[in-house]
Structure 1
Amino acid sequence: MTSQAIFRAVVKRGVPARRKPQTGIIQMVGAGMLAIALVVGQVAPSAARGAPESFADLADKVSPAVVNITTSTTIAAPANGNPVFPEGSPFSDLFPELRGPQGGNNQPQHSNALGSGYVISEDGYIVTNNHVIENADSIEIEFFSGAHLPAKLIGTDPKTDVALLKVESDKPLPFVSFGNSDESRVGDWVMAMGNPLGQGFSVSAGIVSARNRELSGTYDDYLQTDAAINRGNSGGPLFNMDGQVIGMNTAILSPNGGSIGIGFSMASNVVSKVVDQLQKFGETRRGWLGVKIQDVTQDMADAMSLASAEGAMVTDVPEGPAADAGMKAGDIITSFDGGEVKHTRDLVRRVADAPVGEAVRVTVLRDGKSQTLLVTLGRRETAEGEAVPVAVTKPQDSEQDLLGMTIAPLTSDIAQQMSLPKDTKGLIVKEVDDSSAAWEKGLRPGDLITEANQLPVTSLSDLTDRVKETKEAGRKSLLLLIRRDGEPRFVGLPVEQ
């Protein structure tokens, strides 16, 4: 993909920068998407503070623990100079860098990506985003002192976009500690550090603009900030005024690919739990309840004569821990392991944080009465790895013109051409009318539509249904989740064309 096309991207989950071989051109890296071993003490709530006169003392204090990360990846050249995509493929013109010169003897190329990270222990553990180091052949760490050390990968968690690295040093390394992100308030001052656009060890400051933001992940819990975050800041820390890491800079919302003051940092209370498991096991081990759930709406509460629209409604109980404990579809989970459950996000996170194999008390509302079940949790990673029966699906239309675009279901052939994971689902944009709102909003051929109005879309009928529902609800725009080079972005698209 050309740098010009890449710089038109609207939302970037992860903002590492890539330098093309021998050209020096900075590009985006396509991304696929923690109690730590250091025991972090409970942080006392901090009192309200006025605007600091300077961030210089804080920057001096934490800079030695912030690092620049450079990765090297070998990209295999196409044999005999032939394009990677089949001849005539509509995607071959979108990714010219993946085609070798005709008739030439191409050699493998090396691509360098730039990102950020931070040291969390004196013995050399370093945290960054998974997409910064994903598929890297080698990882090099540059310290504030100017020293360079190679790093090895300890483990990753794509679901939260967290990666844990380790360097070997003959002397203790400066490090920073995690703070309690739940105590960060909207309006608190924060400072971001990292390697924006390859500039290295850059500081920006702002405030916490919002909390508990979600992008597209199951465990998303982002702090929104107006501190400037750009490509290359991925994996860098977001500090509170005590020099504690309360977030990891991961994504930006932007119409032009640069900072407009809407950045997202994964909350430290999520990152620290993942880091702890990666240090102990080299992988995540999340609890699994074994139910399908949805939020309780006010209409549902009225129909069931509930006092409030709270809890997680169980819609299905397949074979698993919950079924073994006697849970049924229609139960409303109101408490998990002593913690109140007001909505599905509460339950998902509490279950994920609970130890595998632990017996927990789950309180459900059934037929208007409360009862408690004892459920022994399974492991989510194991459950997700089990084979799922193939469903019989109806034949799908090959393509459709909608909202100023020609859209088609994502087939396995197209997914392979675009180097997407085999389980990727969605709708592929084949063409975009350059006079349409879709073009003005930045949609381009090759974009993948995965959600509409925050619901998955895997068929053309899914998308047409979302458009119909939007119009019937009297709304003017449809919210699409687009993935380009594996990175998500939201686009509000008018439904009237």
Structure 2
Amino acid sequence: MVKKIWVGLLTLLAPFWAHAALPAAVDGQPLPSLAPVLEEVTPSVVNVYTRTRVRVRSPLMDDPFFRRFFNIPDVPRERVSQSLGSGVIVDAGNGYVLTNNHVIQGADDIAVTLQDGRSLDATLVGADPDTDLAVIQVPAENLTALPLADSEQLKVGDFVVAVGNPFGLGQTVTSGIVSALGRAGLRGLEFQNFIQTDASINPGNSGGALVNLRGELVGINSAIFTPSGGNVGIGFAIPSGMARYVLEQLVEHGEVRRGSLGLVVQDLTPDLALAFGLEAGQGVLVAEVMPGSAAETAGLQAGDVIASVAKRPVRSAQSFLNAEGQVPVGERVPLTFLREGGERKATLVIEPPQVLLGEDIDARLAGARFMALPARARAQGQSGVVISGLAEGSRLAYEGLREGDIINAVNRGRVDDLDDLASGVTQARGALLLQIRRNGRAYVARID
């Protein structure tokens, strides 16, 4: 009886649904659709596949007696790790593809699949872990590039479309709006100015495109906030303005060469702003001026409030760092600051970071490159020098040190800068005891 009633209802409602179906046009005008835009965009978005060979170590297999007893040859065992992501063709003539650094990091083989089904081998041009961006290159054969928009023109509420390869399903399109701008606070990245969107972004979308309704690239999808591992409507994309600068640097140098103005700054909190007679968010407070830096030469002082860098207003320590990090080394930078209630201007030159080679100090440190700690780390109360480069097979690498480790002390002598490191090592008698900080934890390494 129930079945007959449902059949009757469906029969009665069928003409109504047929009548209520969406029309192809309203008042002679076709219904809005993203299809025309996506026809131009999707050929520029590629799927990125990587393979990484990882050596598998076993205490038994590393024992020569065990291998001889069971007649096991001394052949390294490996396992292959695979991952997937997305990328965006930004230069069809040269075959340059923008993607995320975490998509290709450590990969031995990189391949991309285009929308038309072609699979192409890719080579790494360069990567920038500080922004989580990388550039790979494929053969420039019948490619379509996506134009980069001016992300500075984005506004909250603008419609955007995300294109990528979520979960390896293949090219997928989702839509949403710009939920917020200038987001920061993600761990592990030095430069952060994220676009927040509610367009669905999932694992595999990393490196894909975020485009506006004109079909222009406004961001590179990079991360999501999720308590469960899936999309909850909070995704983050690296703005095209930052991506453009990183792209140019990686293509030209194979790395992003950044310098410094020599300023350590902090946010201008409401309490500090009140003390200085300013409004909160009006700039950033200079906490320290590095000796011998361009800022010291220009006469800046602790207590000054920086209002703009390179004609870009700065309202937080992160925005100051972003502005400083997008100016090439050697370029002159106009800077506006406030002192004693008056506005002042200065022009500074971005100076290259101080670098010290290990072999110039002690033969035991050969293969290592040391740099002064970034201003952001100093503003957070850290001290020491950072290992910015480490050759495979070097003494420090053999003892377990890694690139990115911070050296706080040598033989119990405090290390604040490169001069402290050099003097501590040269004055040492016998073994070197290096106090290391890594991921918030302290270690001691002995170097004989």
TM range (shorter): 0.5 to 0.7
Counterpart contact for 1:298–1:308, Cα < 8 Å:
yes
Counterpart contact for 2:44–2:89, Cα < 8 Å:
yes
Counterpart contact for 1:81–1:106, Cα < 8 Å:
no
CA distance in 1, matches of 2:174, 2:33: 12
1:164, distance to aligned residue in structure 2 (A): 0.4
Match of 1:65 in 2: 44
CA distance in 2, matches of 1:146, 1:229: 23
The Cα offsets for residues 304-353 of structure 1, whole Å up to 9 and x where unpaired, read as: 33366522211111222212322222222233344444433343222222
Counterpart contact for 2:192–2:318, Cα < 8 Å:
no
Paired amino acid for 2:251: Q
RMSD: 3.4
Match of 1:167 in 2: 138
Residue 146 of structure 1, aligned match among 113, 117, 123:
117
Query: CA separation of 1:337/1:228 partners in 2, compared to 1, >3 Å: closer, same or farther?
Result: closer
Match of 1:437 in 2: none
* Secondary structure of residue in 2 paired with 1:140: strand
Unpaired stretches in structure 2, ≥5 consecutive residues: 1-29, 63-71, 357-368, 385-395, 408-437, 443-448
Q: Does 1:108 align with 2:81?
A: no
Residue 169 of structure 2, aligned match among 192, 199, 202:
199
The Cα offsets for residues 439-490 of structure 1, whole Å up to 9 and x where unpaired, read as: xxxxxxxxxxxxxxxxx99479xxxxxxxxxxxxxxxxxxxxxxxxxxxxxx
TM-score computed with the length of structure 1 as normaliser? 0.61
**Identity level (%):** 36
Match of 1:180 in 2: 150
CA distance in 1, matches of 2:32, 2:150: 24
Counterpart contact for 2:151–2:239, Cα < 8 Å:
yes
Counterpart contact for 1:286–1:381, Cα < 8 Å:
no
1:380, distance to aligned residue in structure 2 (A): 4.7
1:379, distance to aligned residue in structure 2 (A): 2.5
* Secondary structure of residue in 2 paired with 1:299: helix
CA distance in 2, matches of 1:232, 1:381: 38
The Cα offsets for residues 3-39 of structure 1, whole Å up to 9 and x where unpaired, read as: xxxxxxxxxxxxxxxxxxxxxxxxxxxxxxxxxxxxx
1:186, distance to aligned residue in structure 2 (A): 2.2
Match of 1:298 in 2: 270
Match of 1:55 in 2: 34
The Cα offsets for residues 83-130 of structure 1, whole Å up to 9 and x where unpaired, read as: 9xxxxxxxxxxxxxxxxxxx9998211111111001112221101000
Q: Does 1:333 align with 2:335?
A: no
Query: CA separation of 1:207/1:323 partners in 2, compared to 1, >3 Å: closer, same or farther?
Result: same
TM-score computed with the length of structure 2 as normaliser? 0.67
1:162, distance to aligned residue in structure 2 (A): 0.4
The Cα offsets for residues 145-168 of structure 1, whole Å up to 9 and x where unpaired, read as: 111111111111111100001112
CA distance in 2, matches of 1:165, 1:62: 19
1:422, distance to aligned residue in structure 2 (A): 5.3
Match of 1:482 in 2: none
What are the within-5 Å matches in structure 2 for residues 13-412 of structure 1? 53-81=32-60, 107-123=77-93, 124-169=95-140, 171-214=141-184, 215-216=186-187, 217-306=189-278, 310-319=282-291, 320-380=293-353, 385-387=370-372
1:247, distance to aligned residue in structure 2 (A): 1.1
Match of 1:10 in 2: none
Counterpart contact for 1:295–1:310, Cα < 8 Å:
no
Query: CA separation of 1:119/1:343 partners in 2, compared to 1, >3 Å: closer, same or farther?
Result: same
* Secondary structure of residue in 1 paired with 2:107: coil
CA distance in 1, matches of 2:165, 2:328: 36
Counterpart contact for 1:285–1:381, Cα < 8 Å:
no
Counterpart contact for 1:180–1:246, Cα < 8 Å:
yes
Paired amino acid for 2:157: G
Match of 1:465 in 2: none
The Cα offsets for residues 218-238 of structure 1, whole Å up to 9 and x where unpaired, read as: 321111112211111110101
1:185, distance to aligned residue in structure 2 (A): 2.4
CA distance in 1, matches of 2:31, 2:223: 26
Query: CA separation of 1:257/1:122 partners in 2, compared to 1, >3 Å: closer, same or farther?
Result: same
Match of 2:431 in 1: none
* Secondary structure of residue in 2 paired with 1:108: strand
Greater fraction of residues in helix: 2
The Cα offsets for residues 415-460 of structure 1, whole Å up to 9 and x where unpaired, read as: 96xx9865289xxxxxxxxxxxxxxxxxxxxxxxxxxxxxx99479
Report the count of equivalent residues.
Answer: 338
Paired amino acid for 2:107: A
1:295, distance to aligned residue in structure 2 (A): 1.6
1:188, distance to aligned residue in structure 2 (A): 2.2
Deviates more, 1:103-112 or 1:282-291: 103-112
Match of 2:418 in 1: none
CA distance in 2, matches of 1:132, 1:309: 35
Paired amino acid for 1:305: G
CA distance in 1, matches of 2:111, 2:131: 22
* Secondary structure of residue in 1 paired with 2:320: helix
Larger Rg: 2
CA distance in 1, matches of 2:403, 2:104: 17
* Secondary structure of residue in 2 paired with 1:76: strand
CA distance in 2, matches of 1:315, 1:153: 39
